[in-house]
Structure 1
Amino acid sequence: MTPQRPPTTPAEGQRVTPEALREKYESGATVDELVATSGLSYGTVLNRLHDAGTVMRTSWQTRRMRQDPQARQRLAARLRTLYEQHGATLTELAATAGETRRGARRLLIEAGGTVRTTQQTQRMRAAARAAERYKVALSLRARYEAGATVPDLAKEHSYSVATVYRLLHQAGTPMRPQHSHGPAHDTRERP
């Protein structure tokens, strides 16, 4: 039978909360260090970190964090830029950072970013696609006004002729008159 450890409790008024443990852990402390400073068992520390929604690091992530304390801040700032200026999703941020979605979200918030809803992200991406399409439409307009034909533009850009017409219309392009391929019609009245 293994001897029981005498229970150690923090001083009166210094209850160890899950949030306090999470804050220390996220600032670089290891679970072993939290066990030593809190007087709690290893399992209790892990449970409280889990209750606080803490994303656990691997040992190499802890080493990397300790080698360069500014690395986390730089990573968080980079993720915020990708998220806000380029419309990246949390899943894309997680892949970039080598983190989980929750970890990427936390880094984003640490950098002062605010998390978008899925609908906001979809609207943002739709607006970006619309802006890109408008650029294409303006480019097609310039080529059309320089003398290119609609079928030539469709072939160059791998679009259908209908798509080219729609994009030209969106760009407000004045269209050239269509050619009549039949016999010339005399529109004068005959006596």
Structure 2
Amino acid sequence: MTPEALREQYESGATVDDLVTASGLSYGTVLNRLHGAGTVMRTSWQTRRMRQDPEARQRLAARLRTLYEKHGSTLTELAAAAGETRRAARRLLIEAGGTVRTTQQTLRMRTAGRAAERQKLALSLRARYEAGATVPELAKECNYSVATVYRLLHQAGTPMRPQHRHGPTRHDGQRP
């Protein structure tokens, strides 16, 4: 997460704790990035007052709707990002004009997103393989098994190079 993105979220009402939860960064890293981006820090009472401000509430609701609709976040993730309960996050989402999904809709959305990411990875591996990298090298770089890399390469329709045979050869240079 860039310092500017953290600053934007902080200025729209998120607390440092919210940013830590949403970004997965440590508390100190979030603070350092906010300071590096020139963020003017609030006190806890200023944050409470800001959240009571209708405009700040609208900005927070709009940000939660974006997270929910474009990034596939769940109500639990929205609650963590907003520093609210699931019920309050749901209310904010509806206030912003969002529609609450069923659990099945969220699962289908996330599955489709993972499939797209996997296809992107497969195409990236194909390009590197066609540029000369070997399957074991790709497996080591990506921290996947050799079998998984082969499966991804086949998924991407990669024409495979012939396997090398390392068995014994006859005296005339031919294999038995």
TM > 0.5 fold call: yes
Structure 2, unaligned stretches of length 5 or more?
1-44
Q: Which of the two has higher C-alpha Rg? A: 1
Of 155, 159, 168, 1:170 maps to 155
2:50 alignment counterpart: 64
Q: Hey, what does 2:133 align to over in structure 1?
A: 148
Structure 1 residue runs of 4+, over 6 Å off? Answer: 59-62
Cα distance change of structure 1 residues 156 and 62 upon mapping to structure 2, 3 Å threshold: closer
**Aligned-partner Cα distance in 2 for 1:143–1:60:** 51
CA distance in 2, matches of 1:103, 1:147: 53
| 1:119 maps to 2:95 | no
Opposite residue 125 of structure 2, the aligned amino acid is L
The 5-angstrom pairing of residues 1-191 of structure 1 reads 63-66=49-52, 68-182=53-167, 183=169, 184-185=174-175
Counterpart in 2 of 1:43?
A: none
Q: TM-score, normalised by structure 1?
A: 0.62
How many residues end up aligned between the 2 structures?
A: 127
Local SS of the residue matching 1:70: helix
- In the TM superposition, residue 61 of structure 1 has moved relative to its aligned partner by 8.0
Structure 1 gaps, min length 5:
1-58, 187-191
RCO greater where, 1 or 2, for CA within 8 Å and sep 6 or more? 2
Measured on the aligned residues, the alpha-carbon RMSD in Å equals 2.0
Structure with greater helix percent: 2
